Amino acid sequence: MSSLKYNAVANRFLGTNGIATMHGDAQSSDCTPFRGPGRGRWSVKFVHLGGACPTVLAGKDGYIQVLTTKVLNNKLEALSPVVSILHPDTGQVLSEMNIAKGALLGGVYAYLDDQDRMVLIDGAHNLLRIAHGRGGKSLRVDSRISLGSYIGAVRGDQAVSLVPDWQGRVWFATQAGRAAYVDPSSGVVRGIDLKAHRPTCFKDTEVERVTNSISACPDGVSIVTTHAVYLVRAAADGTPEVVWMHVYERDRARKPGKLAWGSGATPTFFGPTGHDYLMLTDNHFEREHVMVYRTKDGAQVGVAPMFAVRNSGTENSMIGIGNTVIGANTYGYPYPRYPDGAGKSDPENAEFTAGMERWDITPTGLVNRWTRNDVYSCAVPRYSTTDRLIYTCDRSPSFRINRIRAVAIDIDTGRTVQEEWLPRSTMTVLGGGDTLQMVGTMDGRGTWWQGTIMGVYMIKSK
Could you tell me if residue 300 is inside a domain?
yes
Query: 330-380: per-residue pLDDT in tens?
Result: 999 999 888 878 889 999 999 999 999 999 999 999 999 999 999 999 999
Could you tell me if residue 7 is inside a domain?
no
Could you tell me if residue 194 is inside a domain?
yes
If one compares 376 and 100, the residue with the highest pLDDT of the two is: 376
Q: What letter represents residue 220's amino acid?
A: G
Query: 277-302: per-residue pLDDT in tens?
Result: 999 999 999 999 999 999 999 999 99
If one compares 76 and 208, the residue with the highest pLDDT of the two is: 208
pLDDT of residue 105: 45
Q: How far is CA 3 from the centre of its chain?
A: 23
pLDDT of residue 336: 84
pLDDT of residue 440: 93
Please state, for a pLDDT cut of 90, what percent of the chain lies above it.
83
pLDDT higher than 70, residue 78: no
- The 389-394 sheet, strands edge to edge: 31-32, 382-384, 389-394, 405-410, 416-421
pLDDT higher than 80, residue 238: yes
pLDDT of residue 337: 81
pTM for the whole thing? 0.95
If one counts the domains in the chain, the total is 1
pLDDT of residue 198: 74
pLDDT higher than 60, residue 7: yes
Could you tell me if residue 264 is inside a domain?
yes
| Cross-strand pairs, 219 | none
pLDDT of residue 339: 84
Could you tell me if residue 18 is inside a domain?
no
Mean pLDDT rounded to a whole number for the chain: 92
Could you tell me if residue 73 is inside a domain?
yes
Taking the C-alpha atoms of residue 393 and residue 408, their distance in angstroms, rounded to an integer, is 9
Could you tell me if residue 452 is inside a domain?
yes
CATH number at 307 reads: 2.140.10.10
Taking the C-alpha atoms of residue 263 and residue 254, their distance in angstroms, rounded to an integer, is 9
Could you tell me if residue 351 is inside a domain?
yes
pLDDT higher than 80, residue 382: yes
Domain range for 275 is 31-461
